[in-house]
Structure 1
Amino acid sequence: MENNSNGFISVVATIFLLVFSLIPSTYAAQTLTLNDVLLSANSYYPDILAAQQELQQARADRLYAQGAFDIELQQNTRARTSGYYDGLSVAQKVIKPLRYSNAKLFAEYRISDGQFPIYEDEFVTLDRGEFSMGVSLSLLRDGDIDKNRLALINSDLNVDMEELRQETTINNIGVQAAIAYLNWVNAHKQLEVYQSLLKTAKYRHNAIQKRVILGSSAEIELLDNEQNILKRHSQVLNAENELELTSIGLSMYWRDQQGHPKKPSAEIQPPKLNDLAADIRIDMNTLITDALLQHPEIQQIENALKQTENTNRFHRNQLLPNLDIYAKVGQDIGAGSETRDDLDSFIGLQFSMPLERRAARGKLDKSTAKIKQLNYLKQGLVESLSGSLHQAHAKYINKRSQAEVSLRRAEITKQLEQQEEKRAEQGASNIFLLNVRQENSAEAQVEAITDQLKSILAGIELLGRAYKVNELYSGELAR
């Protein structure tokens, strides 16, 4: 009976262990990728969120400018409260501004009751009122462009400019986030190297201690290795401090779903350097051409130039005299005077011209000068961008070459360390030479890690100058 019970317990324990092994551990190491950090910064970084609100304000301003062309309802009631005449007049009018020649369409209904003096005969209607409709438009001043249309077309450009500013913010924050991420990866990888060195020194210390007890090694070797342990422990402490600092820096860009900074815990690991290494060899001619066509700062200047040209066109138009034309048709219905039965139609012209136009000329001269200024700024920006892209590309090529050299040196120093260990096992070397080999190997590994990450960073900076950091979200660097 006892054997059966033990067998049952064994089967249950086996099933339990199997099921438990299939459940993912909460404390299992997680890999934090550059893509994770970029997406988090894009979703929660305050500057990006603020840029989104700037865009919303620009869209609200555009909606406000569109309101100048909303349909308007007007009502006018006029009643005599004393005197011989008791006339009452009520008028309702609907006006629709159009985006052409400062035109306005209107439709009106009027009705009156009582008696009016002869000098107010225009208020009198038949007993069922008068319907009328008409149009007015500007032929010269305000014909081609007016202040409402200027505000509307420039508000469209303001929205475009805020979208470009938001793109600029996302790009710049993306570069900063990538730098913080790579600094964290660098600190993490260096800590691993120094921890491995310290572990090796402690392991060797036990072996030397045994040899000293047996009399096969001098006590000075034990003392030398002890100072070596302290030295490597100090390196680990410095590396841990650097990891803590870079983790805090990274938390500014890697945030939780409430938007609060989130510092990577000990369970969070960086990817392998081979997974981070990216081949971003770019055709410089294509890169420069695309950058000059799509660069947000250049497009912002172009939009500012369009706005100033629109303003210039408006002020030039304001130098023209006013010549407005209007037409109206109306029809009374119902009983009353026969003189009001027929369809009435009107057409009119209104002309005015200021004799001095210094205000308009001053604004025109100012906008003309600003157009020239913006063209010069655009030329300077294009030349500066082209030069900075070439510099960034040259830096990237150099960093790639340095990374390759450092990686090769790390491989050679590792081989020398391994050969020195074999010689030490055979009695052909000593602890001093072995420590030197190990320290050279560790130094070369740290240098290779740093140079590899500098190469990646130089590539990111190149993409940042070309405003193509968004390509990291799905590119090789974001794997």
Structure 2
Amino acid sequence: MSLSHGHSTFLILLVLLSGTAHAQPTPSPAASTGGEAPLTLEEVLDSVREQHPGMAVALQGVATAEAELLSAEGGFDLSLKAKGAYVPFSYYPREQLDAVLEQPLALGGTRLFAGYRLGQGKFPLYYGNYETLSAGEVRTGVEVPLWRNSAIDKRRADLAKARLRLDIAGFALAGEQLELQREAAYNYWEWVAAGRQLAIANAQYSLAVTRHDQLARRAAQGDIPQIEHTENERVLLERQADLVAARRKLEQTALKLSIYLRDRDGNPLVVSAARLPGGLPMPDAAFASELDSWVDKALRQRPELRDLELQRDMVQIDTAMARNQMAPVVDLGVAVAKDLGSGPDSLRPTEVQATLTIDLPFQARVGRGQVQAAAAKRAAVEAKTRLTRDKVITEVRDNLSALHAAYERVGLAKGAADVARRLAQAELARFEYGSTSLLIVNLREQAAADAELKEVKALVDYHRAVVDLLAATAALQPRPTPTPEEGRP
């Protein structure tokens, strides 16, 4: 079979999620004949997204990251600091109160402040600046870093990293969802295949049962040797055992599927055989996109690669902070103060004060060490990124190769099953004319059943290859990952 070229990703998703589209014409005996709709893969994937405990665990990671972001935003909270002193027994009895409101800003590391100070009583000369007029002193001002902490400081770095961690948690959630959906899709197709295998086993058993009474009458009439009836009895027992095994297989796959298919309360839901689709979907054609388009999609969308991009951004923040620590402190401050009330005239004028703070880190070993550590982290992230990219590309190549091979195998297996069925029918006709034995007929029928089972296996492998390719390109989960709330500072 050759691959056609012209299908889009939308058609690919449609083939995957349709569940019963292009189904085999032979319905399963276990399929619903009543009003229950067949279970689709889309329904299972929706259940994983909405009800699976694994998603709840991953969501807690997002909730934790949101809490850490809120904590980092607290670095810019308005704060009130106050201190009071009452000295009733001293050569200098006095009362003091000092309160200040501080508001850090993200703009250039600026800090705004406004305060109130009250100093009453007697003060020694060296504490004369504590004295105020009777109503106290009000003041306001601003401090601006001109060098260190100007481009970045701890508050802004913590906030930026918290936002990145929230994005990382979102991609971790997407990765967990992708893996769970891959497992769910695997189990769904195994369940559908088990239903088809049960139908094949049931058809073989029913054929032996119908033939058993006919052969008993013919043997009694002397048309055929008694050994032919005995041979059919042997086959009947074998096929009955196969039917029991196939029924057990269907029950087992339904139980495994229940881990991913859940009810509204989140409890595992063991799906009834009545909801089996009519058969495994037959592929019309293989996926048409070229390898490069699949690789590009995977490199754009895979959560682990997006995660590494964010980790690289976090390392850049660490690097900027380390270089910031090596820079000298040069802070400029401007404040205005005014005393109110009665008291000495020397305290009445408005006071304007400008300050300049300089701190030179001559050795700067703290900053240099942090720069080296950040460089090592960056090298590690870059190496891990290269390795992950190589793995993703190899995975996409392998999955696309598996898909092409599975597509060809489906055609070959279907052709082999058709030939085996025709041989079985022809052998049965020869037996009716006495030209062969029932042993040969049974061998032909068993060969036809084996060929049908191989066709089912080829179809399962094909649909698993579809799931693998879509998972490798992160196209299996249509819902977007959580993003930080808009409007945060």
* TM-score class normalised by the smaller sequence: 0.7 to 0.9
Match of 1:320 among 327, 337, 340: 327
Q: Unaligned stretches of 5+ in structure 2? A: 1-31, 481-489
- In the TM superposition, residue 438 of structure 1 has moved relative to its aligned partner by 1.8
Q: Secondary structure at the match of 2:326?
A: coil
Give the structure 2 partner of residue 161 of structure 1: 168
1:197 aligns with 2:208: no
Q: CA deviation at 1:332?
A: 1.9
Measured after TM superposition, the shift of residue 454 of structure 1 is 0.8
SS of the residue corresponding to residue 351 of structure 1 reads: strand
Q: Does 1:143 align with 2:150?
A: yes
In 2, the alpha carbon distance for the partners of 1:136 and 1:380 equals 47
Q: Does 1:255 align with 2:262?
A: yes
Residue of 283, 291, 299 corresponding to 1:292: 299
Q: For residues 35-72 of structure 1, what are the alpha-carbon distances to aligned partners after superposition, in whole Å with 9 as ceiling and x for unaligned?
A: 12111122222222111001110111111011011000
Matches of 2:46 and 2:287, distance apart in 1: 21
Residue matched to 2:132 = 125
In the alignment, which residue of structure 1 is the partner of 2:5? none
For residue 463 of structure 1, the aligned residue among 470, 476, 482 is 470
Q: Could you tell me which amino acid in structure 2 is paired with residue 109 of structure 1? A: Y
AA aligned to 1:52 is: L
1:304 aligns with 2:311: yes
Name the structure 1 match of 2:74: 67
Return the offset for 1:208.
0.7
The whole-number CA distance in structure 2 between the counterparts of 1:92 and 1:27 is 78
Change (3 A) 1:97 1:298: same
**TM superposition score normalised by structure 1:** 0.88
CA distance in 2, matches of 1:360, 1:354: 9
Give yes or no for contact 2:286–2:403 (8 Å, CA) kept in 1.
no
Q: What is the distance in 2 between the residues matched to 1:402 and 1:26?
A: 31
Matched, 1:281 2:288: yes
Of the three residues 397, 406, 416, the one matched with 2:413 is 406
* Structure 1 residues 65 and 428: CA distance shift in structure 2, 3 A: same
Maintained 8 Å contact 1:165/1:296: yes
Distance in 2, Cα, partners of 1:231 & 1:384: 47
Partner of 1:36: 43
1:407-444 CA-partner distances (Å, limit 9, x unpaired): 12222222333344444445555433332332222111
Corresponding residue for residue 221 of structure 1: 228
Question: What SS class does the counterpart of residue 301 from structure 1 fall into?
Answer: helix
Rounded Cα–Cα distance in structure 2 between residues aligned with 1:179 and 1:287:
21
Moved more, 440-449 or 396-405: 440-449
Instruction: Check conservation: 1:139, 1:324, Cα contact below 8 A.
Output: yes
Asked if the contact 1:157/1:307 (under 8 Å) is kept, the reply is yes
Question: What's 1:115 paired with?
Answer: 122
What is the TM-score of this pair, normalised by structure 2? 0.86
167-176 vs 264-273, which moves further: 264-273
Q: CA deviation at 1:123?
A: 2.3
CA distance in 2 between partners of 1:276 and 1:471 (Å): 22
1:202 deviation in Å? 0.5
Give the drift of 1:167: 0.5
DSSP-derived class of the 2:308 partner: helix
1:222 deviates by 0.4
Matching of residues 397-436 of structure 1 within 5 Å:
397-436=404-443
Report the structure number with the largest CA radius of gyration.
1
The farther-off stretch of 266-275 and 121-130 is: 266-275
Residue 337 of structure 1 corresponds to 344
TM-superposition CA deviations, 1:138-169 (whole Å, max 9, x none): 22222222222211111111111111111011
User: SS where residue 281 of structure 2 aligns?
Assistant: helix
Shift of 1:278: 8.0
Match of 2:179 among 160, 172, 179: 172
| CA distance in structure 1 between the partners assigned to 2:400 and 2:297 by the alignment | 15
**Could you tell me whether the CA contact under 8 Å between 1:389 and 1:466 is conserved in 2?**
yes
**Aligned position for 2:456:** 449
The one of 215, 236, 257 equivalent to 1:208 is: 215
Please state whether the residue corresponding to 1:317 is helix, strand or coil.
helix
- Pairwise CA distance, 1:92: 2.5
Amino acid across the alignment from 2:266: G
1:101 Cα shift? Answer: 3.2
Equivalent in 347, 364, 374 of residue 354 of structure 2: 347
- CA offset at residue 111 of structure 1? 3.0
Give the length in aligned residue pairs.
Answer: 449
Give 1:86's aligned amino acid: P
Measured in 2, the distance between the counterparts of 1:208 and 1:151 equals 84
1:17 is matched with none
> Which of 228, 239, 264 does residue 246 from structure 2 map onto?
239
Distance 2:339 2:478 in 1: 69
Question: 1:26, 1:192 → 2: CA distance?
Answer: 14
Q: Which residue of 271, 275, 289 corresponds with 1:264?
A: 271
User: How far apart, in 2, do the equivalents of 1:358 and 1:383 lie?
Assistant: 38
> Compared with structure 1, are the counterparts of its residues 29 and 215 closer, same or farther at alpha carbon in structure 2 (3 Å cutoff)?
farther
For the aligned residues, what is the CA RMSD?
Answer: 2.3
1:125 offset after TM fit, Å? Answer: 2.1
Instruction: From 384, 404, 411, give the equivalent of 1:377.
Output: 384
Q: Distance in 1 between matches of 2:282 and 2:399?
A: 23
Q: Aligned partners of 2:277 and 2:95: how far apart in 1?
A: 85
Q: Which moved more, 1:240-249 or 1:175-184?
A: 240-249
Q: Is the 8 A contact 2:193 2:280 kept in 1?
A: no
Distance 1:194 1:331 in 2: 97
Shift of 1:109: 1.9
Report the alpha carbon displacement of residue 277 of structure 1 after superposing the two structures with TM. 7.5
* Paired AA for residue 92 in structure 2: Y
Q: Which protein has the bigger helix share?
A: 1
Cα distance 1:136–1:150, how it changes in 2: closer, same or farther (>3 A)?
Answer: same
For 1:130 and 1:224, the matched residues in 2 are separated by: 112
In 2, the alpha carbon distance for the partners of 1:27 and 1:129 equals 88
